[in-house]
Structure formats: structure tokens, C-alpha cells
Amino acid sequence: MTHWLVANPHAGDGERGRDFWLGHLAAAGIHSPVCQAFDQHDWARQVQPGDVVMVAGGDGSVNRSARLCLQREATLAVLPSGTANDFARNLNLPEQPEALCQLIGEGPVQQVDVAEFDEQLFLNVAHIGLGTAPVCEADDTSKKRFGRFSYGVGLLRKLSEKRGFHARMQCDKGFVSGRWLSIAIANGAFFGGGNEIPEACANDGQLDMVAVRPRPLLQLLLTFLVLRFTGRSPRRTSTVVHLKGERCSVTTRKPKTVTADGDVATKTPFNVVCRPRSLRVIGRAVVTSAGSA
């Protein structure tokens, strides 16, 4: 078994790069992993089934490494170094680098779901509408200044400018049509820098579709704050709609940009299917979020 290390030098604040993780990995007994450049792909053919691919970066970097692990039947190990790091939250990975590297050395494996669309995949979330703004318009400076809260900041800056868009959302047998500010299709319990989805899990074989209706600014702000700090929608409100299913689709009157795991991915219509427990990852457990009641 070979340990591979690929680090994105542009992830997060840049302080958790390859050299940072090499020191902690060596202390945990993982000496001289095979290091590869993040923007080169010729080495991927050398990865063998059962190898461990360690990725130091954000959710977009983890996404690209997950594709490689699926193709080569390797195991993914996440070294959180980005802004949101939601996939690491889904695995409840230790925040301390020493403990995390020790965990990788021990090698407990979980199997998590993958969301597939158009021969692509996402591990965390795909966004349509207002939720794409932090990806399409945020710069590295705002990410470094506000950290994981930059996603919420990016949304709030745009709320007063948007009237929403018309879309039909469908999950398995249920569907809802209407006007929306944002639609998110999530594969796990967290998205957008720690926002929690009620009764969700990254290995439950289900996708969660969370959509936000156009509402007055104060009502939207209240909903955002309650969701952000409690993981629940405010009671007696129709601001947020939540659907679940193995297959989800979104159709819009005009093509809308879709972002996936922090990168621009495609346009609507958008069709996605959950591939249950298809990806091997290092971790002791997969987090299940609390219920909505």
C-alpha cells in the first residue's frame, strides 16, 4: 500500500500546505509519502487499488481526488486546508493535525455516498441561483478575511438585488414548482461552511434538496441565522422547502449556472443521482445531523 500526498497550494489561507502536513504525517509514522503536484495528472495511473490518496485542500480539491479514488479503487484521506471543509465535517475528522494524521496512520475506513451528474460528481453540495454567488463572484481576499463565513457574507450582499427564478424541483415521487432565490442539493449533513441539514447523512443513500423562497430581507436574515446556529428552520415559516430522494432534478425556464463543491460545473436542467456508499474514506464515523423537530 502506498500513501500519496497531493496538496493545493492555493487552498484556504495557504498555511496548511505540503510541508506543513509532511511534518505531522512523519510524526504519525507515515514517512516519505509520494508527493505529487495538484495540477498534474500523469501520476494518477500509478495509483493502485488499496492505496491511500491524501489530499490537502478545500472541498473542490477533495472532489477531484475523490474522482481519482473511485477510478483507481483507492481510499481517500482528507487533510482539511480550505475555507469551508464541509466534507471533513461529515466525517467528524479531528481538528488537531496531530490527531488527524494519527487517524490516517491507523486507517479506519468508512464508505460514503457520491452524487453523480453529467459524468461528474459532488461530495457536498450543488447550488443553483443565489447560492452560486460566493463561487462565481467571491475572491480569495474575502475568503481569507471571513473564512467559512464568507459564503454567508456573499449571499447577504446579494439578497436585496435578487427577485428569484422560476424552477421545478423533483425528488423521486415528489415535486414542487415556484419562484426561488436558491436551490441546494446536498449529499451530506453540511454545506456552505457548516450549515446543517436536518436528518441528513453522507451515507444514507439520499440526497437533500433545500430551496429558499424570495422573502423580505429581514425574514431571510432571520432564517439564515437560525439555520446557521441551530441547524433548524424557524417555525411557522414557508421560507425553506426541504425534499429528499435518491434522484433529484431541477428544471428552469432559462438555463441557470450550477456550481458543485465550490466550482462552476454545468447549466440547468440538472439531474443528479446518489450512488450509495461507493467511496472509501478514512474516518471513524459518518455524522448524522439532528432532526428538525
What amino acid is encoded at 57 in this protein? G
| Domain span including residue 53 | 3-107
Domain boundary among 59, 74, 107: 107
Q: How confident is the model at residue 288 (pLDDT cuts 50, 70, 90)?
A: very high
Q: How confident is the model at residue 102 (pLDDT cuts 50, 70, 90)?
A: very high
DSSP 181: S
Backbone Cα Rg of the chain: 19
For residue 196, give the C-alpha cell: 446543517
Residue with more model confidence, 192 or 124: 124
Same domain, 163 and 63: no
Same domain, 77 and 145: no
Residue with more model confidence, 53 or 225: 53
Would 198 be classed as within a structural domain? yes
- pLDDT one-digit tens code per residue, 128-149: 998 777 666 554 444 444 444 4
Q: Which of 56-70, 102-116, 130-144, 214-228 has the lowest mean pLDDT?
A: 130-144
Angle among Cα 78, 182, 231 to the nearest 5 degrees reads 60
Would 291 be classed as within a structural domain? no
pTM over 0.85: no
Residue range 221-229: average pLDDT? 66
For residue 24, give the C-alpha cell: 505531522
Same domain, 126 and 264: yes
Contact 120, 266 (CB under 8 A): yes
CATH number of the domain where residue 12 is located? 3.40.50.10330
The neighbour count for residue 136, using CB atoms within 10 Å, is: 11
Most confident of 13-17, 150-154, 165-169, 240-244: 165-169
Could you tell me which of 80, 105, 75 has the C-alpha nearest to residue 15? 80
Residue 252 has pLDDT above 90, yes or no: yes
CATH number of the domain where residue 271 is located? 2.60.200.40
User: pLDDT value at position 174?
Assistant: 86
User: pLDDT value at position 197?
Assistant: 87
Residue 74 has pLDDT above 80, yes or no: yes
Mean pLDDT of the chain: 85
Could you tell me which of 152, 148, 153, 169 has the C-alpha nearest to residue 241? 169
DSSP 16: S
Nearest-angstrom CA–CA distance, 130 and 7: 30
Q: Which residue has the cell 467528524?
A: 92
Nearest-angstrom CA–CA distance, 56 and 100: 12
Would 281 be classed as within a structural domain? no
Positive or negative: CA dihedral 101, 276, 152, 18: positive
Contact 38, 88 (CB under 8 A): no
Same domain, 144 and 256: yes
Q: Where are the alpha helices (DSSP H) in 29-167?
A: 59-72, 86-90, 97-106, 133-137, 140-146, 150-158
Would 22 be classed as within a structural domain? yes
User: pLDDT value at position 157?
Assistant: 52
Would 112 be classed as within a structural domain? no
Same domain, 97 and 135: no
Domain boundary among 57, 84, 107: 107
Would 115 be classed as within a structural domain? no
Same domain, 67 and 197: no
Q: How confident is the model at residue 195 (pLDDT cuts 50, 70, 90)?
A: confident
Residue range 62-67: average pLDDT? 94
Same domain, 269 and 134: yes
Same domain, 153 and 46: no
Torsion of CA 108, 289, 133, 38, to 10 degrees: 0
Burial (Cβ within 10 Å: 0-12, 13-18, ≥19) of residue 151: buried
Residue range 143-166: average pLDDT? 57
CA distances from 39 to 6, 7, 64, 231 (A): 9, 9, 10, 36
Domain boundary among 85, 107, 129: 107
Would 189 be classed as within a structural domain? yes
Q: Which residue has the cell 483507481?
A: 72
Would 40 be classed as within a structural domain? yes
Same domain, 158 and 265: yes
Number of domains in the chain: 2
- pLDDT one-digit tens code per residue, 254-272: 999 999 998 899 999 999 9
Same domain, 232 and 134: yes
Same domain, 103 and 125: no
DSSP 201: B
Same domain, 101 and 133: no
